[in-house]
Homo-oligomer: A and B are copies of this chain.
Amino acid sequence: MSIKIACGQMEVVAGRPDFNTKKVLQLISQAKNEEVDIILFPELAVPGYLVGDLWEQTAFLEDCKTFGQQIIAATEGITVIFGNVAIDRKRNNKDGHIRKYNAAFTAQNGKLISTEQGLDFVAKTLLPTYRMFDDSRYFESQEMLLKDKRVSLKNGMGSVAVTIRGCEYKLGILLCEDSWTENYPLSVPSMLKQGGAQILCNLSCSPFTLKKNSKRHLVFGKQAKELQLPLIYCNSTGIQNTGKNIYAFDGQSCVYGPDGMVKAAASMFEEKLLTFSLDKESAKIRAYSAEDELISTEDDETAILYKAIRYGTEHFLKQTGIKRMVLGASGGIDSAVTATLFTDILGPHQVLLVNMPSRYNSELTKNLAQQLAENLGCCYTIVPINDSVAHTVEQLYTPIHNYTTNRDFKVELNGLMYENIQARDRGSRLLAGFSAAFRGGISCNANKAEITVGYGTFYGDLIGLFCPLGDLWKHQVYRLGKYINEYVYKRKVIPELIFTIRPSAELSEEQTVGKGGDPLIYTYHDYLLRAFVENWEKASPAEILKHYIEQDLEAFLGCKEGLVSLLFPSHAAFCQDLEHWYNVFTGLAVAKRIQAPPVLSLSPRAFGTDYREAQLTTYYSLEYKEMKDKLLVQERLF
């Protein structure tokens, strides 16, 4: 006998059990029309996942329970498995808050179906507490739930048995991390199989991360194959955030056959009722719609990136109610790519580009900014900052009275101060003013390399509603620009010259297009900085220096071969550069990141809640100092 199963791949809105329940009920109704037997919904489909410390508000928890009951009541003639928070007011979490579980409920014909241990729900066993995940902060695990019932984990991983048209199916229910078995001392899927599970059902709320989907296919496919069980993966779409980080959820719900192959899959970033049939005897799985058989490939990283950025940005704007955007347009690549992104999402009338030249801005970049606006059909204006900067400088020379000595004195301004005055004049005076008046959000156009080293001005170019390119290295921004011209607009909306001029802040005589540019050499520093931030075991100056000495640094970093010796004429120069960037990365840049706008997160590690940091003083390990001393002594000897 074959049954029809569906994944309710839906947009989960964090903190809105009312919206989410409405969506769940709609999808149940649709599934009934399509004669679905079992429908799965994502992890925490009712409350949402990333709600911060709202988990500590009882009224919110109670509502999630009430909405959960509405879902259970709507299961006449269908089996529904959905994620919700489970609360136990008689018990506490370890921190004294009301006991909470990240749970999966199974219901049929208006009633909850208990697990084989008589529990009303299955709780998440593995609670991820890394990156942006704070599960241990809010939830207790299935292990704790069983302990309270005096059942061991080994005997407590039974399945949920549901009967469909007279035939019993034992469902092994997992929540997201429970399937990511790599580093844990126990394997939940294996334990479920041992407990008699015939079909594994994984409810997830798993955010998009570059390359994660291929990794999941490997891990989950292998699991299905080894256990010889079908494995259904139901993930949410939409966006959720942790304050500092905005995550897009890509869905990509799918079903793996006992051979480890994907048999049906829903598209990325789309709400979808993915349906397929499963035959119990033959274990054959068949997708109902041809397009559902396709697995999205990640061949073109840039195409996927654009999709994720566009989706994440569009949904974040929608959630915050922002219909227009204001951007500083400098004629550089970062602002150009950002402008094309917002225009693609909001339409050209809704995007205002402001060019704010000082006496250091070249005709070249001014023309490029204007050309970009013209190509996009955006709103555009030019507001020079010379007068206001001069006025600020004049005012900063106002005599200051010292009331102890009863004497007046004046401050002195240097070049760097003058540069920052310009940046703040553009950001906090003009862009912020236009933002309010044009009723649009400010886009922060910073890229990840700049954010890593704090190459940007506090309250200047670092302001904004959010930062869509903040998790992309400069080389990724260039690639994205090329992609946008070729595939999104299918014409050169970003003028060709923007790709070829050397990036420059144009804030002083020395730093102008043609004369000099950014101090970062992106072909190398992009990769060096990435190793500090994104490597799972974070690279340290010691590790970098070791690879430099062993002459395999380029391979380690993933940058172009031969680059290092080309860039650094001596070991001393190499170390000086390394220390300079490590100093700023761990120094003032941290202070800047604390006050930076939220970042749309795409990489394995984005600044913010994902990469947590304290303001510390920069520390070099003993090994680094030793290696460096030896190296420099050698160099001096020769």
CB contacts (< 8 Å) of A399 on chain B: these are: 381
Q: With A and B bound together, what is the CA distance between A257 and B509 in angstroms?
A: 71
B391 and A60 contacting across the interface, CB-CB below 8 Å = no
A62 with B619, Cβ < 8 A, contacts A391-B391, A400-B352, A420-B432 known: no
Shortest A127–chain B CB gap in Å is 8
Whether A402 lies near B349 (C-beta < 8 A) is yes
Q: What is the bound-complex CA distance between A319 and B615, given in angstroms?
A: 9
B184–A94 CB distance below 8 A:
yes
Cα A380 to Cα B404 with chains together (Å): 10
Interface status of A76 (Cβ within 8 A of chain B): no
Q: Mark A9-30, 1 if CB is under 8 A from B, else 0.
A: 0000111111000000000000
Interface residue A136 (Cβ < 8 Å from any Cβ of B) = yes
Known: A412-B437, A598-B594. A387 touches B381 (CB 8 A): no
A459 contacts which of B428, B434, B437, B619 (Cβ < 8 Å)? B428
Report the bound CA distance from A383 to B262 in whole Å. Answer: 68
Q: Is the CB of A612 within 8 A of B62?
A: no
- Give A620 to B171 CA distance when docked, in angstroms: 36
A201 CA to B14 CA, complexed, in Å: 44
Instruction: Assess A540 versus B59: contact at CB under 8 Å? Given A15-B614, A396-B433.
Output: yes
Q: Once the chains bind, are A624 and B136 in contact (CB under 8 Å)?
A: no
User: Contact between B93 and A430 (Cβ–Cβ < 8 Å)?
Assistant: no
The segment from A237-245, A263-271, A285-293, A468-476 found at the interface with B is A237-245
B183→A93 contact, CB < 8 A: yes
Asked if A403 and B379 make an inter-chain contact with CB atoms under 8 angstroms apart, the answer reads yes
In the complex where A95-B183, A96-B536, A623-B62 touch, is A53 in contact with B613 (Cβ < 8 A)?
Answer: yes
Residue interface bits A604-638, CB-to-B below 8 A is 1, else 0: 00000101111111010111100000000000000
CA distance A59 to B618 in the complex (A): 13
* Contact residues of A between 310 and 337, Cβ < 8 Å to B: 319-320
> In the complex, what residues of B have CB within 8 A of residue A598's CB?
594, 615
Whether B597 pairs with A430 at a CB distance below 8 angstroms is no
A463 to B430, CA, bound (A): 17
In the bound complex, do residue A15 and residue B349 qualify as a contact, i.e. CB atoms below 8 Å apart?
no
Interchain CB contact under 8 A, A243 and B400:
no
**Which of A115-123, A227-235, A370-378 binds B?**
A370-378
Instruction: Tell me, yes or no, whether A411 is within 8 Å of chain B by CB.
Output: yes
Using Cβ atoms and an 8 Å threshold, which residues of chain B touch A612? 52-53, 134, 137, 242-243, 609
Docked-complex contact A381 and B403, CB < 8 angstroms: no
Q: Which residues 324-356 of A sit at the B interface, judged by CB distance below 8 A? A: 348-349, 352
Q: Is A403 a contact partner of B53 (Cβ separation < 8 A)?
A: no
Residue-wise, chain A 456-497 has the 8 Å CB interface mask toward B (1 for contact) of 001110010100000000000000000000000000000000
CB of A95 to closest CB in B, whole Å: 4
Q: Which residues does chain B contribute within 8 Å of A536, judged by CB atoms?
A: 56, 96-97
Say whether A308 faces chain B, with CB atoms less than 8 Å apart. Answer: no
CB <8 Å contact, B540 and A614 = no
Q: Is A92 positioned at the interface, with any CB of B under 8 Å from its CB?
A: yes
Cross-interface CB contact of A51 among B15, B243, B320, B616, cutoff 8 Å: B616
Q: How far is B407's CA from A381's CA once the two chains are assembled, in angstroms?
A: 12
Q: A56-B538, A97-B537 are in contact. Are A15 and B617 (CB under 8 A)?
A: yes
A129 an interface residue at 8 Å Cβ cutoff?
Answer: yes
Q: Would you call A438 an interface residue if the criterion is a C-beta within 8 Å of the partner chain's C-beta atoms?
A: yes
Q: Complex formed: what's the CA distance from A396 to B326 in Å?
A: 13
B417 touches A433 (CB 8 A): yes
In the complex, which residues of chain B have a beta carbon less than 8 angstroms from the beta carbon of A411? 434, 437-438
**Cβ of A241 to closest chain B Cβ, rounded Å:** 5
The reply on A425 being an interface residue by CB < 8 A is yes
> Judging by beta carbons under 8 Å apart, are A320 and B53 in contact?
no
Q: Among residues 420 to 458 in chain A, which have CB atoms less than 8 Å away from a CB atom of chain B? A: 420-421, 424-425, 427-430, 432-434, 436-438, 458
A381–B402 touching, CB < 8 Å: no
* List of B residues within 8 angstroms of A595 by Cβ: 463, 595-597
Distance between Cα atoms of A329 and B624 in the complex (Å): 47
Say if the beta carbon of A33 comes within 8 Å of chain B.
no
Cα-based distance from A51 to B351 in the complex (angstroms)? 41
Residue of B nearest to A378 (CB): B403
Q: For the complex, is A153 an interface residue (Cβ under 8 Å from B)?
A: no
Decide: B183 and A96 in contact? CB cutoff 8 A. yes
Given A50-B614, A433-B417: A59 and B392 within 8 A (CB)? no
- The complex places the Cα of A18 from the Cα of B130 at a distance, in Å, of 27
Closest approach, in angstroms, between the C-beta of A129 and any C-beta of chain B?
5
Asked if B537 and A98 make an inter-chain contact with CB atoms under 8 angstroms apart, the answer reads yes
Closest to A384 in B: B395
A155 CB–B CB distance under 8 Å: no
Give the CA-CA distance A57 to B624 in the complex, in Å: 13
Given A240-B614, A244-B594, A391-B388, A429 and B432 touching (CB < 8 A)? Answer: no
Q: Within the assembled complex, what's the spacing in Å between the Cα atoms of A469 and B609?
A: 24
Instruction: Please indicate the chain B residues that have their CB under 8 angstroms from the CB of A62 in the complex.
Output: 621, 623
Q: Cα distance A242–B428 when bound, in Å?
A: 27
Interface membership of A259, Cβ < 8 A: no
CB-defined A-B contacts under 8 Å, sample of 17: A13-B617, A14-B614, A15-B614, A53-B611, A53-B612, A59-B541, A63-B623, A92-B183, A93-B183, A134-B612, A241-B615, A242-B612, A244-B594, A348-B404, A380-B403, A382-B398, A417-B433
- Which residues of A pack against B, CB within 8 Å? 13-18, 50-54, 56-60, 62-63, 66, 92-98, 126, 128-130, 134, 136-137, 147, 182-185, 240-244, 319-320, 348-349, 352, 373-374, 376-383, 387-388, 391-392, 395-396, 398-405, 409, 411-413, 416-417, 420-421, 424-425, 427-430, 432-434, 436-438, 458-460, 463, 465, 536-543, 590-591, 593-598, 609, 611-617, 619, 621-624
The 6 A-B pairs of least Cβ separation, nearest first, read A428-B428, A411-B437, A59-B540, A15-B616, A377-B404, A95-B130
Known: A383-B395, A459-B463. 4 other contacts (CB 8 A): A16-B619, A59-B540, A94-B185, A379-B403
